[in-house]
Amino acid sequence: MAKKVHYVYTTLSPIFQSDFEQKASGNKNAVKQRTMSVAITTAEGLKIEELPIISGNSIRGKNRRLFIDKTLEALGLKNGWQYDTSISTDVYLLLISGGNMSKSKDVKLTVQGYINTLNLLPFLALFGGFYQGVQFDGRLSAGFLIPAVDGCFFDEGIRKNIKTVQFNPAGFNNKIGFVRTKINQINEIFFESLAPVKEINKDIYNGILNLFREVEVEEETEATAEETAQKSSNKKPKGKYEQNKEKLQKILKDNRKDAEEIIKLIEPDITSMEEPEKILIEILEQKLSTQMIYSVQGYIPAGINLVATDILNNGLGSDELVTDAFAAYIETVSRQSYIGGMGAKGFGRVDCKVFGEDGEPYVPNGEKYWNWLKNNRDKIIDVLKNIDKYLAFQIQ
Protein backbone atom coordinates (compact mmCIF):
# COMPACT_ATOMS: atom_id res chain seq x y z
CA MET A 1 0.00 0.00 0.00
CA ALA A 2 1.23 3.49 -0.87
CA LYS A 3 2.51 5.77 1.87
CA LYS A 4 3.40 8.64 -0.47
CA VAL A 5 1.19 9.84 -3.32
CA HIS A 6 1.20 12.74 -5.75
CA TYR A 7 -1.92 14.58 -6.88
CA VAL A 8 -1.94 16.28 -10.27
CA TYR A 9 -4.87 18.63 -10.64
CA THR A 10 -5.87 20.11 -13.98
CA THR A 11 -7.67 23.39 -13.39
CA LEU A 12 -10.93 23.49 -15.36
CA SER A 13 -11.85 26.96 -14.08
CA PRO A 14 -9.97 29.70 -12.20
CA ILE A 15 -8.90 28.58 -8.71
CA PHE A 16 -8.82 30.84 -5.67
CA GLN A 17 -7.80 30.85 -2.01
CA SER A 18 -7.79 34.11 -0.11
CA ASP A 19 -4.54 35.56 1.18
CA PHE A 20 -4.49 35.11 4.96
CA GLU A 21 -3.18 38.68 5.37
CA GLN A 22 -5.86 40.52 3.42
CA LYS A 23 -4.91 44.17 2.99
CA ALA A 24 -7.28 46.97 3.93
CA SER A 25 -9.29 48.17 0.97
CA GLY A 26 -12.06 50.60 0.20
CA ASN A 27 -14.02 47.63 -1.11
CA LYS A 28 -14.23 44.75 1.35
CA ASN A 29 -15.07 42.36 -1.49
CA ALA A 30 -11.71 42.97 -3.20
CA VAL A 31 -9.59 39.93 -2.36
CA LYS A 32 -6.12 38.74 -3.22
CA GLN A 33 -4.93 35.21 -3.97
CA ARG A 34 -2.70 33.49 -1.44
CA THR A 35 0.92 33.19 -2.63
CA MET A 36 4.14 31.57 -1.50
CA SER A 37 7.82 32.18 -2.27
CA VAL A 38 9.16 29.38 -4.47
CA ALA A 39 12.65 28.80 -5.92
CA ILE A 40 12.65 28.58 -9.73
CA THR A 41 15.62 27.61 -11.91
CA THR A 42 16.11 30.06 -14.78
CA ALA A 43 18.80 30.70 -17.40
CA GLU A 44 20.28 33.26 -15.00
CA GLY A 45 20.27 30.84 -12.08
CA LEU A 46 18.01 30.18 -9.11
CA LYS A 47 15.41 32.88 -8.45
CA ILE A 48 12.79 33.30 -5.73
CA GLU A 49 9.36 34.10 -7.15
CA GLU A 50 5.87 34.44 -5.71
CA LEU A 51 3.49 31.77 -6.99
CA PRO A 52 -0.24 31.45 -6.27
CA ILE A 53 -0.89 28.33 -4.21
CA ILE A 54 -3.61 26.41 -2.39
CA SER A 55 -2.65 25.32 1.11
CA GLY A 56 -2.40 21.62 1.82
CA ASN A 57 -4.17 22.23 5.11
CA SER A 58 -7.29 23.52 3.35
CA ILE A 59 -7.43 20.38 1.18
CA ARG A 60 -6.71 18.19 4.21
CA GLY A 61 -9.34 19.95 6.32
CA LYS A 62 -12.10 19.74 3.73
CA ASN A 63 -11.44 16.08 2.95
CA ARG A 64 -11.02 15.21 6.62
CA ARG A 65 -14.58 16.39 7.23
CA LEU A 66 -15.89 14.44 4.24
CA PHE A 67 -13.95 11.30 5.22
CA ILE A 68 -14.97 11.42 8.88
CA ASP A 69 -18.61 12.07 7.95
CA LYS A 70 -18.55 8.99 5.73
CA THR A 71 -16.88 7.02 8.55
CA LEU A 72 -19.55 8.09 11.05
CA GLU A 73 -22.28 7.17 8.56
CA ALA A 74 -20.71 3.73 8.08
CA LEU A 75 -20.74 3.29 11.86
CA GLY A 76 -24.40 4.33 12.04
CA LEU A 77 -23.52 7.42 14.13
CA LYS A 78 -24.68 9.95 11.55
CA ASN A 79 -27.82 10.04 9.46
CA GLY A 80 -28.19 13.11 7.26
CA TRP A 81 -27.55 16.03 9.63
CA GLN A 82 -28.39 14.03 12.76
CA TYR A 83 -25.58 12.73 14.97
CA ASP A 84 -25.99 9.97 17.55
CA THR A 85 -26.20 11.78 20.89
CA SER A 86 -24.60 8.90 22.81
CA ILE A 87 -21.23 10.23 21.59
CA SER A 88 -20.05 13.47 23.21
CA THR A 89 -19.75 16.69 21.23
CA ASP A 90 -16.06 16.92 22.17
CA VAL A 91 -15.38 13.54 20.53
CA TYR A 92 -17.21 14.60 17.36
CA LEU A 93 -15.18 17.82 17.26
CA LEU A 94 -11.97 15.84 17.77
CA LEU A 95 -12.75 13.66 14.77
CA ILE A 96 -14.33 16.18 12.40
CA SER A 97 -12.23 19.31 12.90
CA GLY A 98 -9.36 18.38 15.19
CA GLY A 99 -10.92 19.39 18.50
CA ASN A 100 -10.35 22.35 20.79
CA MET A 101 -6.81 23.14 21.96
CA SER A 102 -7.95 25.43 24.78
CA LYS A 103 -10.53 23.10 26.34
CA SER A 104 -9.24 20.59 28.86
CA LYS A 105 -10.19 18.56 31.89
CA ASP A 106 -8.41 16.12 34.15
CA VAL A 107 -8.13 13.06 31.89
CA LYS A 108 -6.34 10.15 33.58
CA LEU A 109 -4.03 9.46 30.68
CA THR A 110 -1.69 6.48 30.57
CA VAL A 111 0.89 5.58 27.91
CA GLN A 112 -0.71 2.16 27.39
CA GLY A 113 -4.17 3.71 27.11
CA TYR A 114 -2.97 6.39 24.67
CA ILE A 115 -1.30 3.86 22.34
CA ASN A 116 -4.19 1.41 22.61
CA THR A 117 -6.76 4.10 21.72
CA LEU A 118 -4.86 5.02 18.55
CA ASN A 119 -4.55 1.34 17.63
CA LEU A 120 -8.33 1.01 17.90
CA LEU A 121 -9.11 4.25 16.04
CA PRO A 122 -6.95 4.41 12.87
CA PHE A 123 -8.90 7.41 11.53
CA LEU A 124 -7.82 9.36 14.63
CA ALA A 125 -4.22 8.21 14.20
CA LEU A 126 -4.38 9.40 10.58
CA PHE A 127 -5.51 12.97 11.29
CA GLY A 128 -4.74 13.58 14.96
CA GLY A 129 -6.32 16.31 17.06
CA PHE A 130 -6.96 17.54 20.60
CA TYR A 131 -9.29 16.05 23.19
CA GLN A 132 -9.57 17.61 26.65
CA GLY A 133 -5.94 18.73 26.61
CA VAL A 134 -4.66 15.44 25.17
CA GLN A 135 -2.82 15.86 21.87
CA PHE A 136 -2.91 13.13 19.22
CA ASP A 137 -0.25 13.57 16.54
CA GLY A 138 -1.70 12.84 13.11
CA ARG A 139 0.42 10.85 10.67
CA LEU A 140 -0.87 12.55 7.50
CA SER A 141 1.23 15.35 5.99
CA ALA A 142 -0.51 17.28 3.21
CA GLY A 143 1.52 19.35 0.74
CA PHE A 144 0.79 22.71 -0.85
CA LEU A 145 -0.78 22.73 -4.32
CA ILE A 146 1.82 24.48 -6.48
CA PRO A 147 1.44 25.45 -10.16
CA ALA A 148 3.55 23.34 -12.52
CA VAL A 149 5.95 26.06 -13.67
CA ASP A 150 9.13 25.58 -15.71
CA GLY A 151 12.13 25.41 -13.39
CA CYS A 152 10.09 24.65 -10.26
CA PHE A 153 11.28 21.62 -8.26
CA PHE A 154 9.08 18.52 -8.23
CA ASP A 155 9.83 14.93 -7.22
CA GLU A 156 11.52 12.98 -9.99
CA GLY A 157 8.72 10.43 -10.11
CA ILE A 158 5.99 12.94 -10.90
CA ARG A 159 7.71 15.16 -13.49
CA LYS A 160 6.73 12.95 -16.44
CA ASN A 161 3.04 13.35 -15.52
CA ILE A 162 2.80 17.13 -15.48
CA LYS A 163 2.68 19.79 -18.16
CA THR A 164 4.62 22.85 -17.12
CA VAL A 165 4.06 26.44 -18.20
CA GLN A 166 6.62 29.20 -18.54
CA PHE A 167 6.69 31.46 -15.51
CA ASN A 168 5.20 34.86 -16.24
CA PRO A 169 4.56 37.19 -13.28
CA ALA A 170 1.89 39.08 -15.21
CA GLY A 171 0.13 35.85 -16.07
CA PHE A 172 -0.26 35.04 -12.37
CA ASN A 173 -1.35 38.56 -11.47
CA ASN A 174 -4.55 38.87 -13.47
CA LYS A 175 -7.64 40.45 -12.01
CA ILE A 176 -11.20 39.29 -12.47
CA GLY A 177 -14.17 41.13 -11.09
CA PHE A 178 -17.85 41.85 -11.29
CA VAL A 179 -19.33 45.33 -11.05
CA ARG A 180 -22.78 46.50 -10.11
CA THR A 181 -24.55 45.14 -13.16
CA LYS A 182 -28.15 44.13 -12.76
CA ILE A 183 -30.40 41.16 -13.36
CA ASN A 184 -32.08 42.72 -16.37
CA GLN A 185 -35.49 41.05 -16.08
CA ILE A 186 -35.91 42.11 -12.45
CA ASN A 187 -34.73 45.66 -13.13
CA GLU A 188 -36.99 46.09 -16.15
CA ILE A 189 -39.99 45.14 -14.00
CA PHE A 190 -38.89 47.69 -11.41
CA PHE A 191 -38.39 50.40 -14.02
CA GLU A 192 -41.89 49.73 -15.32
CA SER A 193 -43.21 50.25 -11.79
CA LEU A 194 -41.60 53.72 -11.85
CA ALA A 195 -43.88 54.88 -14.69
CA PRO A 196 -45.93 57.10 -12.31
CA VAL A 197 -42.69 58.94 -11.44
CA LYS A 198 -42.61 60.27 -14.98
CA GLU A 199 -45.97 61.95 -14.34
CA ILE A 200 -44.72 63.50 -11.08
CA ASN A 201 -41.42 64.85 -12.43
CA LYS A 202 -39.97 63.96 -15.81
CA ASP A 203 -36.50 65.28 -14.93
CA ILE A 204 -36.26 62.99 -11.87
CA TYR A 205 -37.47 60.04 -13.91
CA ASN A 206 -34.83 60.63 -16.59
CA GLY A 207 -32.18 61.10 -13.88
CA ILE A 208 -33.02 57.69 -12.42
CA LEU A 209 -32.77 56.05 -15.84
CA ASN A 210 -29.41 57.72 -16.51
CA LEU A 211 -28.09 56.63 -13.12
CA PHE A 212 -28.93 52.95 -13.35
CA ARG A 213 -29.15 52.12 -17.03
CA GLU A 214 -25.81 53.68 -17.93
CA VAL A 215 -24.02 52.68 -14.75
CA GLU A 216 -20.25 52.21 -14.87
CA VAL A 217 -19.02 51.53 -11.38
CA GLU A 218 -15.32 52.20 -11.03
CA GLU A 219 -14.16 50.45 -7.89
CA GLU A 220 -10.75 51.15 -6.34
CA THR A 221 -10.14 47.57 -5.33
CA GLU A 222 -6.52 47.44 -4.28
CA ALA A 223 -5.86 50.79 -2.62
CA THR A 224 -4.44 50.62 0.87
CA ALA A 225 -4.88 53.43 3.37
CA GLU A 226 -1.38 54.68 2.54
CA GLU A 227 -2.04 54.69 -1.18
CA THR A 228 -5.32 56.51 -0.63
CA ALA A 229 -3.53 59.18 1.39
CA GLN A 230 -0.91 59.62 -1.33
CA LYS A 231 -3.58 60.06 -3.95
CA SER A 232 -5.73 62.45 -1.90
CA SER A 233 -4.08 65.50 -3.43
CA ASN A 234 -4.55 64.20 -6.95
CA LYS A 235 -7.93 62.47 -7.11
CA LYS A 236 -8.82 60.67 -10.29
CA PRO A 237 -11.84 61.92 -12.28
CA LYS A 238 -15.18 60.65 -11.08
CA GLY A 239 -16.73 57.81 -13.00
CA LYS A 240 -19.95 58.07 -14.97
CA TYR A 241 -21.99 56.61 -12.13
CA GLU A 242 -20.79 59.25 -9.66
CA GLN A 243 -21.35 62.04 -12.19
CA ASN A 244 -24.92 60.90 -12.86
CA LYS A 245 -25.53 60.49 -9.13
CA GLU A 246 -24.49 64.10 -8.46
CA LYS A 247 -26.73 65.32 -11.28
CA LEU A 248 -29.71 63.40 -9.87
CA GLN A 249 -29.04 64.68 -6.34
CA LYS A 250 -29.06 68.26 -7.63
CA ILE A 251 -32.37 67.69 -9.42
CA LEU A 252 -33.84 66.17 -6.25
CA LYS A 253 -32.63 69.07 -4.09
CA ASP A 254 -34.30 71.50 -6.48
CA ASN A 255 -37.52 69.47 -6.40
CA ARG A 256 -37.75 68.24 -2.81
CA LYS A 257 -41.54 68.02 -2.66
CA ASP A 258 -41.59 65.84 -5.76
CA ALA A 259 -38.77 63.72 -4.26
CA GLU A 260 -40.84 63.20 -1.10
CA GLU A 261 -43.88 62.19 -3.16
CA ILE A 262 -41.78 59.67 -5.12
CA ILE A 263 -40.32 58.20 -1.91
CA LYS A 264 -43.86 57.62 -0.56
CA LEU A 265 -44.77 56.00 -3.86
CA ILE A 266 -41.82 53.56 -3.82
CA GLU A 267 -41.53 52.98 -0.06
CA PRO A 268 -44.81 53.87 1.72
CA ASP A 269 -43.32 52.91 5.11
CA ILE A 270 -40.66 55.66 5.00
CA THR A 271 -41.62 58.38 7.51
CA SER A 272 -38.46 60.51 7.84
CA MET A 273 -38.02 62.96 4.98
CA GLU A 274 -34.76 64.61 6.03
CA GLU A 275 -32.57 64.99 2.95
CA PRO A 276 -35.03 63.22 0.60
CA GLU A 277 -32.44 63.40 -2.20
CA LYS A 278 -30.19 61.00 -0.25
CA ILE A 279 -33.03 58.76 0.94
CA LEU A 280 -34.40 58.25 -2.56
CA ILE A 281 -31.02 57.33 -4.04
CA GLU A 282 -30.36 54.89 -1.17
CA ILE A 283 -33.73 53.21 -1.81
CA LEU A 284 -33.00 52.92 -5.53
CA GLU A 285 -29.51 51.51 -4.95
CA GLN A 286 -30.85 48.89 -2.55
CA LYS A 287 -33.49 47.79 -5.03
CA LEU A 288 -31.29 47.75 -8.10
CA SER A 289 -27.86 46.62 -6.86
CA THR A 290 -28.67 42.94 -7.23
CA GLN A 291 -25.19 41.56 -7.88
CA MET A 292 -22.35 41.63 -5.38
CA ILE A 293 -19.38 43.74 -6.38
CA TYR A 294 -16.13 41.83 -5.97
CA SER A 295 -12.68 41.59 -7.43
CA VAL A 296 -10.13 38.76 -7.30
CA GLN A 297 -6.45 39.55 -7.83
CA GLY A 298 -3.83 36.98 -8.82
CA TYR A 299 -6.07 33.90 -9.07
CA ILE A 300 -4.75 30.61 -10.47
CA PRO A 301 -5.75 30.42 -14.16
CA ALA A 302 -7.71 27.63 -15.79
CA GLY A 303 -5.89 25.08 -17.95
CA ILE A 304 -2.72 24.46 -15.91
CA ASN A 305 -1.50 21.68 -13.60
CA LEU A 306 -1.28 21.97 -9.83
CA VAL A 307 0.87 19.45 -8.00
CA ALA A 308 0.72 18.31 -4.37
CA THR A 309 2.09 15.40 -2.35
CA ASP A 310 0.58 13.58 0.64
CA ILE A 311 2.74 11.45 2.92
CA LEU A 312 1.76 8.95 5.58
CA ASN A 313 4.48 9.34 8.20
CA ASN A 314 5.60 6.73 10.67
CA GLY A 315 3.87 6.99 14.00
CA LEU A 316 1.46 5.50 16.47
CA GLY A 317 -1.58 3.45 15.57
CA SER A 318 -1.83 0.06 13.91
CA ASP A 319 0.25 0.57 10.78
CA GLU A 320 -1.88 -1.78 8.69
CA LEU A 321 -5.16 -0.12 9.71
CA VAL A 322 -3.82 3.42 9.34
CA THR A 323 -2.44 2.58 5.88
CA ASP A 324 -5.86 1.22 4.89
CA ALA A 325 -7.47 4.41 6.21
CA PHE A 326 -4.95 6.45 4.20
CA ALA A 327 -5.98 4.61 1.02
CA ALA A 328 -9.65 5.38 1.73
CA TYR A 329 -8.73 9.03 2.37
CA ILE A 330 -6.84 9.28 -0.96
CA GLU A 331 -9.94 7.86 -2.63
CA THR A 332 -11.99 10.65 -1.02
CA VAL A 333 -9.56 13.35 -2.21
CA SER A 334 -9.40 12.03 -5.78
CA ARG A 335 -13.19 12.17 -6.14
CA GLN A 336 -13.53 15.87 -5.30
CA SER A 337 -14.15 18.06 -8.33
CA TYR A 338 -13.78 21.44 -6.55
CA ILE A 339 -10.99 22.97 -4.47
CA GLY A 340 -10.40 26.41 -2.96
CA GLY A 341 -13.04 29.07 -2.45
CA MET A 342 -15.70 30.99 -4.38
CA GLY A 343 -17.23 27.87 -5.86
CA ALA A 344 -20.58 29.66 -6.11
CA LYS A 345 -18.93 32.26 -8.37
CA GLY A 346 -17.51 29.71 -10.80
CA PHE A 347 -14.09 29.14 -9.22
CA GLY A 348 -12.49 25.88 -8.12
CA ARG A 349 -13.37 23.21 -10.70
CA VAL A 350 -10.62 20.62 -11.19
CA ASP A 351 -9.83 17.14 -12.47
CA CYS A 352 -7.63 15.10 -10.14
CA LYS A 353 -5.29 12.22 -10.97
CA VAL A 354 -3.27 10.28 -8.39
CA PHE A 355 0.22 8.84 -8.86
CA GLY A 356 2.41 6.70 -6.65
CA GLU A 357 5.86 7.67 -5.40
CA ASP A 358 7.37 6.19 -8.58
CA GLY A 359 5.12 8.33 -10.78
CA GLU A 360 2.96 5.45 -11.97
CA PRO A 361 -0.84 5.88 -11.87
CA TYR A 362 -2.27 4.88 -8.48
CA VAL A 363 -5.87 3.79 -8.09
CA PRO A 364 -6.78 4.10 -4.39
CA ASN A 365 -9.08 1.46 -2.97
CA GLY A 366 -10.62 2.00 0.44
CA GLU A 367 -12.54 -1.29 0.52
CA LYS A 368 -10.39 -2.84 3.25
CA TYR A 369 -10.97 0.17 5.53
CA TRP A 370 -14.73 0.26 5.01
CA ASN A 371 -15.00 -3.50 5.58
CA TRP A 372 -12.97 -3.18 8.78
CA LEU A 373 -15.36 -0.48 10.03
CA LYS A 374 -18.34 -2.71 9.33
CA ASN A 375 -16.82 -5.73 11.04
CA ASN A 376 -15.63 -3.81 14.13
CA ARG A 377 -18.49 -1.35 14.50
CA ASP A 378 -19.46 -2.23 18.09
CA LYS A 379 -15.91 -2.00 19.43
CA ILE A 380 -15.22 1.31 17.67
CA ILE A 381 -18.43 2.86 19.02
CA ASP A 382 -17.56 1.66 22.53
CA VAL A 383 -14.17 3.40 22.31
CA LEU A 384 -15.81 6.64 21.16
CA LYS A 385 -18.42 6.49 23.94
CA ASN A 386 -15.87 5.68 26.66
CA ILE A 387 -12.71 7.32 25.35
CA ASP A 388 -11.73 8.63 28.79
CA LYS A 389 -11.67 5.10 30.19
CA TYR A 390 -9.71 3.80 27.21
CA LEU A 391 -7.13 6.59 27.61
CA ALA A 392 -6.81 5.67 31.31
CA PHE A 393 -6.38 2.02 30.19
CA GLN A 394 -9.35 1.05 32.36
CA ILE A 395 -10.77 -0.62 29.24
CA GLN A 396 -8.66 -2.26 26.53
pLDDT single digits (tens) 370-382: 999 999 999 999 9
pLDDT at site 223: 41
Query: What pLDDT sits at residue 172?
Result: 83
CA distances from residue 242 to 239, 316, 373, 389 in whole angstroms, order as listed: 5, 64, 63, 68
Q: How far apart are CA 371 and CA 75, in angstroms?
A: 11
Residues 246-254 have a mean pLDDT of 85
Above 90 in pLDDT, residue 106?
A: no
Give the separation between CA 396 and CA 390, rounded to whole angstroms.
6
pLDDT category, 232, cuts 50, 70, 90?
Answer: very low
At 314 the pLDDT is 95
User: Which residues are paired to 149 by β-bridges?
Assistant: 165
pLDDT of residue 298: 87
With a cut of 90, say whether residue 69 has pLDDT above it. Answer: yes
* Pairwise CA distance, residues 383 & 320, whole Å: 19
Residue 328 backbone dihedrals phi, psi, to 5 degrees = -70, -35
- The confidence score (pLDDT) of residue 277 equals 79
CA–CA separation, 222 and 25 (whole Å) = 6
CA-based nearest residue to 339, from 330, 350, 328:
350
Instruction: List b or e across 303-312, with b for residues whose CB sees 16 or more CB atoms inside 10 angstroms.
Output: ebbbbbbbeb
With a cut of 60, say whether residue 158 has pLDDT above it: yes
